[in-house]
Amino acid sequence: MRALRIVLIVAVVLGGVFVVADRLAVHFAEGEAADQLRASEGLAQTPDVSIKGFPFLTQMAGGELDDVEVGIEDYEALTGKGSEKIRIADLQANMKGVRFSGDYSSATAASATGTAIISYDELLKTATGRTTQVGPGVTARVVGLSDGGNGKIKSSVEVSVLGNKLPQPVTVLSTVMVDGDTVKVKADALPEFGGVSIAEDRVREITDFDQAIAQLPGGIELDKVEAAEDGVRITVQGSNVSLAG
């Protein structure tokens, strides 16, 4: 019995040492992965990297991690218009089946899913700056975007009649959708502007607009989009996503 007790104590001690070593190793690996991702993507700040699953060391020995979560704040994505960029307030991605190269200099995930949030103030930059004459003596421009409820975007349109602004902006509800690498906003129905009947195509010059997002980390792509309280929430996905290298 005494010998068995000693064996059990040794096993517990060794198990504890292994757990501590495993957690230290995963903490170090998360920091290294975050630094490499920051360098490879040219990020302004270090992203959050969390390696899931236990034990970590046996996963590393096999050359593949089951589950890695990445969080990037204030990511600036290219828009396809030269050096113009759009800021993504929060990008979260869950990577599955992350395999490493032989020297651990690069890593690729078999699949990735996640979300990205673009604030209404950021998206508004695409819609503003266009004052359009929508009718005889009537001009209009978008001055605000917000959550319209039920997955819709609410556009606030400032209208001027013969140079005089209407007391309140006109509200337009719009549907938001994804088409390839582009977020599209399209008005559902158009109200009257200043009591004047206006050609629909003139009004849509300001209410309808597109925002391209040409490059996301590792090659993940836009999937779906909907309006939310804190901005436009985009679902992203990808396969063979490069984490580093």
Whether this prediction's pTM lies above 0.75 is answered by yes
Strand partners, 154: 146, 173
CB 133 within 8 A of CB 215: no
pLDDT at 15: 45
Residue 6 pLDDT more than 60?
A: no
Backbone angles phi, psi at 41, to 5 degrees: -100, -5
Top pLDDT among 17 and 15 is at 17
pLDDT at 244: 65
Residue 102 pLDDT more than 90?
A: no
Give Cβ neighbours of residue 239 (< 8 Å, ≥ 6 apart): 110, 111, 112
In angstroms, the CA 144 to CA 22 distance is 51
Residue 92 pLDDT more than 80?
A: yes
Residue 49 pLDDT more than 70?
A: yes
Top pLDDT among 208 and 139 is at 208
pLDDT at 245: 56
pLDDT at 55: 80
Average pLDDT over residues 61-69: 82
Q: What is the pLDDT of residues 175-198, one digit of tens each?
A: 999 998 899 999 887 776 555 556
Strand partners, 28: none
Q: What is the pLDDT of residues 194-230, one digit of tens each?
A: 555 566 677 788 888 888 887 788 788 899 999 999 8
Residue 3 pLDDT more than 50?
A: no
Give Cβ neighbours of residue 65 (< 8 Å, ≥ 6 apart): 51, 53, 56, 59, 97, 98
Top pLDDT among 193 and 44 is at 44
Half-sphere exposure of 35 (CA within 13 A, CB side): 7
pLDDT at 130: 67
Residue 89 pLDDT more than 80?
A: yes
Could you give the angle at the alpha carbon of 149 between the alpha carbons of 135 and 211, nearest 5°?
60
CB 174 within 8 A of CB 148: yes
For the chain, give the mean pLDDT. Answer: 79
In angstroms, the CA 224 to CA 235 distance is 5
Strand partners, 72: 91
Average pLDDT over residues 102-122: 84
Average pLDDT over residues 128-139: 72
pLDDT at 206: 81
CB 205 within 8 A of CB 222: no
pLDDT at 125: 84
In the 3-class helix/strand/coil scheme, how is the chain assigned residue by residue?
CHHHHHHHHHHHHHHHHHHHHHHHHHHHHHHHHHHHHHHHHCCCCCCEEEECCCCHHHHHHCCEEEEEEEEEEEEEEECCCCCCEEEEEEEEEEEEEEEECCCCCCEEEEEEEEEEEECHHHHHHHHCCCCEEEECCEEEEEEEEEEEECCEEEEEEEEEECCEECCCCEEEEEEEEEECCEEEEEECCCCCECCECCCHHHHHHHHCEEEECCCCHHHCEEEEEEEECCEEEEEEEEEEEEEEC
